[in-house]
């Protein structure tokens, strides 16, 4: 399932799109870890950028922690996770190994080259870019001025937004789509899914009640005989319920397994909603059993069905 919400950026500053060079206040490691504990956030990736040279050519070094390899066109070294921009690849004359100078000099094998249309989205430092995976920065003491978030497909955007503001109310939460538009989009999807689910459940509910009522109506002779032998309505109800108890348990097991399968396929993690779904479906299942039985008892108590 593709992430409908896109990437969300978190930083300190005015509530608008800012490039990396405009950010001046670092985000603490404590606050980054708090973000990782928020329900609905799939990944929290600190963004790093620093500068260096390759044979006196100025280059930008950026971190990445997403499926950047899916946007590459050429693989140069399969054992390397380093990616470079197409612009830099052209500038260095298609070399597969480079000498990068920053605070020290290091030889870097290039893993892959980005497609030409993939540009620098985070800063105005140009297009001569080397991308390192986040693991490269683990032992570096670089401040974090921007954090990139990926949101779960089933997340409640309002709840995620409020939780981020509780981490630090001064944080700016920016989405290219726009946070308010994102909230509206999220609510619209939930409403459409709820409406569709309700219609399907209603149709199934009515069909099964009709089918079960027809089946019990054909047993009116048996029910009338129980009535004639002195069985009360509650006793008859108990007999019919015990007859269908295995079916109730079987359907509930099938429903629960279906929900578990749904969770695994779509990586659904809203636990409260899952619990509500299970309880709702079990309740509907019990109603499907009881309503036809009660209807049958009403019919049996009428003179015209007593044989």
Per DSSP bridges, beta strands 72-75 and 112-114 are antiparallel
Mean pLDDT of the chain: 77
What is the SS3 string spanning the chain?
A: CCCCCCEEEEEECCCCCCCHHHCCCCCCHHHHHHHHCCCCEEEEEEECEEEEEECCEEEEEEEECCCHHHHEEEECCCCCCCEECHHHHHHCCCCCEEEEECCCEEEEECCEEECCCCCCCCCCCCCCEEEEEHHHHCCCCCCCCEEEEEECCCCCHHHHHHHHHHHCCCEEEECCCCHHHHHHHHHHHHHHHHHHHHHHHHHHHHHHHHHHHHHHHCCHHHHHHHHHCCCCHHHHHHHHHHHHHHHHHHHHHHHHHHHHHHHHHHCCCCHHHHHHHHHHHHHHHHHHHHHHHHHHHHHHCCHHHCC
Span 115-133, average pLDDT? 93
Task: State how far the alpha carbon of 3 is from the alpha carbons of 7, 10, 40, in Å.
Answer: 9, 18, 12
Half-sphere exposure for 21 (CA within 13 Å, toward CB) = 8
Please state, in angstroms and rounded to a whole number, the distance separating the CA atoms of residues 148 and 62.
13
Please state, in angstroms and rounded to a whole number, the distance separating the CA atoms of residues 48 and 304.
82
How buried is 75 (Cβ within 10 angstroms: 0-12 exposed, 13-18 middle, 19+ buried)?
A: middle
Per DSSP bridges, beta strands 57-64 and 129-133 are parallel
How buried is 259 (Cβ within 10 angstroms: 0-12 exposed, 13-18 middle, 19+ buried)?
A: middle
Please state, in angstroms and rounded to a whole number, the distance separating the CA atoms of residues 215 and 289.
12
- Do residues 23 and 12 lie in contact, with contact meaning Cβ atoms separated by under 8 Å? yes
Please state, in angstroms and rounded to a whole number, the distance separating the CA atoms of residues 183 and 189.
10
Which has more pLDDT, 65 or 262?
Answer: 65
Give the pLDDT confidence score for residue 304 in this predicted structure.
43
Which has more pLDDT, 123 or 205?
Answer: 123
Question: Per-domain residue ranges for the chain?
Answer: 7-178, 185-305
pLDDT band at 272 (very low <50, low <70, confident <90, very high): low
Residue 217 has pLDDT above 70, yes or no: no
Above pLDDT 70, what percent of the chain?
55
Buried b / exposed e across 50-63, counting CB within 10 Å, b at 16+? Answer: eebebeeeebbbbb
CB contact set of 182 (below 8 Å; sequence gap of 6+): 5, 157, 175
CA-derived radius of gyration, the chain: 31
Over residues 46-87, the pLDDT tens digits come to: 999 999 999 999 999 999 976 788 899 888 998 999 999 999
Give the pLDDT confidence score for residue 259 in this predicted structure.
62
- Do residues 131 and 64 lie in contact, with contact meaning Cβ atoms separated by under 8 Å? yes
Over residues 142-191, the pLDDT tens digits come to: 899 999 998 887 677 788 888 999 999 999 988 866 555 555 555 555 55
């Amino acid at each position: 399932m593709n992430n409908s919400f896109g990437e969300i950026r978190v930083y300190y500053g005015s509530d608008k799109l800012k490039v990396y060079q405009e950010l001046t206040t670092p985000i603490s490691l404590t606050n980054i870890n708090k973000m990782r504990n928020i329900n609905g956030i799939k990944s929290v990736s600190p963004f790093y950028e620093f500068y260096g040279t390759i044979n006196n050519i100025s280059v930008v070094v950026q971190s990445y922690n997403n499926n950047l390899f899916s946007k590459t066109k050429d693989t140069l070294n399969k054992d390397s996770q380093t990616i470079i921009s197409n612009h830099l690849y052209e500038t260095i004359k298609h070399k597969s190994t480079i000498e990068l100078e920053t605070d020290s000099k290091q030889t870097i094998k290039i893993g892959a080259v980005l497609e030409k249309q993939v540009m620098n989205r985070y800063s105005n430092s140009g297009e001569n870019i080397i991308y390192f995976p986040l693991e490269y920065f683990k032992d570096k003491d670089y401040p974090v001025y921007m954090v990139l978030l990926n949101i779960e497909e089933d997340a409640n955007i309002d709840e995620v937004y409020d939780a981020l503001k509780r981490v630090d109310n001064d944080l700016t939460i920016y989405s290219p789509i726009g946070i308010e538009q994102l909230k509206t989009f999220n609510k619209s999807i939930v409403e459409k899914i709820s409406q569709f689910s309700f219609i399907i459940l209603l149709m199934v509910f009515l069909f099964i009640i009709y089918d079960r009522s027809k089946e019990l109506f054909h047993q009116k002779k048996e029910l009338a005989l129980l009535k004639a032998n002195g069985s009360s309505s509650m006793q008859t109800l108990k007999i019919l319920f015990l007859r269908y108890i295995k079916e109730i348990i079987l359907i509930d097991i099938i429903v629960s397994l279906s929900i578990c399968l749904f969770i695994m396929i779509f990586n659904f993690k809203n636990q409260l909603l899952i619990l509500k779904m299970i309880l709702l479906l079990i309740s509907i299942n019990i109603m499907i059993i009881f309503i036809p039985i009660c209807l049958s008892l009403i019919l049996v108590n009428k003179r015209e069905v007593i044989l």
